Each structure stands twice: as C-alpha cells, then as structure tokens.
Amino acid sequence: MKVFYSQVCLKHAPKYEIISGNLIDYLESPSRLIIINEHLQNLSSLSKFEFVLPSDYGLEPILSVHSKDYIEYLQTAYKEWVKIGCNKDGVLPEAFLHNNISSSSSIKSKVKVISPIAKAGLYCSDLSCCISEDTWESVYESAQVVISATLELQKIIRESSSSKDKNPFPGIFALCRPPGHHANSNLCAGYCFLNNVAISTKILIGENKKVVILDIDYHHGNGTQDIFYLNSNPLYISLHGSPDYPWFTGDESEKGEGEGEGFNINIPLSKETDDDEYLKVLKKVINKNIKPYNADYLIVSLGVDTYKDDPIGGFQITSEGFKRIGESIKSINLPTLFVMEGGYHLETIGINVGNILIGFTT
C-alpha cells in the first residue's frame, strides 16, 4: 500500500486548546503523525508500505469545496492577528457569530473590514482550531497529500483496467494533518480547517465517478455532511459516538435534503460499543447500504479515536478490533482511499492505524 506523507504537515503546532472549560495542551499534535509514520516505516521493512511525497496541485481543487473568502482568511489570519497586538501563540475566537444575532448577514458582507478578532468568530465554531504561524502551510500541505493520493489511486485503476494483473481493490493511505471532516465550506472546527475527504470526493465526482464516504471517526463528520447534504453522490455514512462532540449534528433523522435525501446515513452509537457490536453494525451497513450503492470508489475518514482509552473519544474498540475493521472494509471490494482523521491515544495510535491497514491489505 502506498502511503502519502509530508513532514510539512507537522508544522501546525498550537500550544493549547480549551476543552470542557480547561486550558490544555493541544491534543491534535504533530506527535500523532510522527508515531504513525514510524510504526508504518517499521512495517514497510516487511514490504507492507511504500512512502510517497505529495505533489503540489495548487488551490483549484481546494476551491471546489471551500469559499474564496474563507481560504483568504486562513492564509492571512495569523499575520493580521499579531499585527493588532493579539497573542502570538495563535488565533482563538473570543466571540462567535450566532444565527440568532440579527445583524449576522450584514456582518458577513463586511468581512474585509471587520477586526481580525471578529473574523476568528466568523470562520470558526469552537475553541479547538487555534491558528498559529505555520498553520496555513500545514493545512495546505495536508490537502495536497490527499489530492496526490486521490490522483494516484485513479492512476492505479486506469492502469489495472488495461493490465492482465488486476487488483480489484487497491488501497492508498493519505497520512495527513490537520484532519478535515469537521470543516465545512467556510468554517473550521474540531481541529479541522480544510475538508480533505470532500476535496478528494469532488475530484472523483468530477470524473463522473460514484463515491461512498465511510466515516469511522468517533466524532460525527458534521462538515462532510454539510457539504454534501443536498447531493445523491456521494453516499455519506457515519458511525459515531453519541451524545458527544460536535453535539448538534449526527442524528439518525438527518438523511439529506432534496436530491440528497436518503444519501446521508448517521449511525449514532453508545460509548459502551465494543468490537463485536461495532463490527456487527459495520457489516450491516456494508451489506444494506454501501454495496447496493454500486460506487466506483470508497473514501474512509479514518479516525482511531474509537479506541477504548482515547482521551476525547472512545468506544470500547481494542487494537485487535481495528484489524477486524480493516478486514470488513476490504470486503466492500472497492478502490479505497484512507484519509487520516482523529485518534489521540499516543501510546497506541500507530498500532491502531497500522492494524486497520493490515486488515485491509492481508
């Protein structure tokens, strides 16, 4: 399996975040990727993984998902913040634009002239998306990792279609950070700035391909849901903990609207869900929803914060359970792109990610 990875993704390194009213060290740290990379590098000695650097495909694929003003904000937020004397550790909102604020529409029309402090609350929905000096560079590179992996997967499929040696379900891993599934078209949230999975999906749909997004992160992918809520392609499926962050989305009643009705499937699960229960639900959704959709590609929002000891997630999934999850995903029998999302238990994050990929490839 090819693994797309860049050390530029490590440069985003805020010092802190606020969770449950507590100022804590930033959990979505560069250490996450370092540990995963080192573990997969060790496995590569067994011919399991081949590491590839991304290419640069510019902003065009990113702008197919995200608004131009939002991208401009991400590019300039830190510089503008520091320029007016704010904390050099990073940009964090002190006030948020709420739907019940009567002047919300007029504020959005004046985005170029409002204070950098106000912009932080306009383009962010929580206190986990601190923008530091190098954030944009890592955010941009994270998207390039996913774009490069997507295009490589397409290339493999084209080449295999004309080859006698056909692999019916190749897989590629985009090892990137920051993650993406909480970001919508003009809002960062939950450590996420650009929605990497949505960018990949748009590329594939642009080639007239049908896509299934399977989100196995512990937290509901509210950003991905929002971006595609009115669309029948992709089919979006999320297995997630409830009640939990992002708190206001992820209910079973959220099925999509218009053309997209029935193509957004949320499966909220209790924190007590163990390996066997999770696999039972996953196999059911594979047979009932994913296979009948007849997609051309599968994109997996790969979060391992479902692990039993994860500090901000956690079903009762074990490290061995992740291998079984990988085996189940393999049974879908589609070209598959794994895109890194959450997972914050540093002692096991490499093993858990590796086990999903090993389960898929063996």
**pLDDT tens digits for range 21-73:** 999 999 999 999 999 999 999 987 776 899 999 999 999 999 999 999 999 99
Does 182 qualify as catalytic in the annotation? yes
pLDDT at 214 exceeding the cut of 80: yes
| Strand 2-5 with 50-52, pairing | parallel
**105 or 338: whose pLDDT is higher?**
338
- Nearest Cα to 50, choosing from 139, 209, 142, 156? 156
Please name the residue that has the structure tokens 């079973």: 252
The reply to whether omega before 61 is within 30° of 0 (cis) is: no
pLDDT for position 165: 59
pLDDT over 90 at 113, yes or no: no
- pLDDT of 98 reads 84
Sheet holding 235-241, edge to edge: 50-52, 2-5, 171-175, 336-340, 297-302, 211-215, 235-241, 264-269
More confident: 163 or 320:
320
Pick the catalytic residue from 182, 220, 240, 345: 182
Match 């060290």 to its residue by tokens: 25
Lowest mean pLDDT among 155-159, 201-205, 270-274, 349-353: 155-159
Which domains does the chain possess? 2-65+131-361 (3.40.800.20)
Residue 269 has pLDDT above 80, yes or no: yes
Secondary structure (DSSP) of 324-336 = HHHHHHHTT-S-E
Q: Is pTM, for the whole model, over 0.85?
A: yes
pLDDT in the model for residue 32: 98
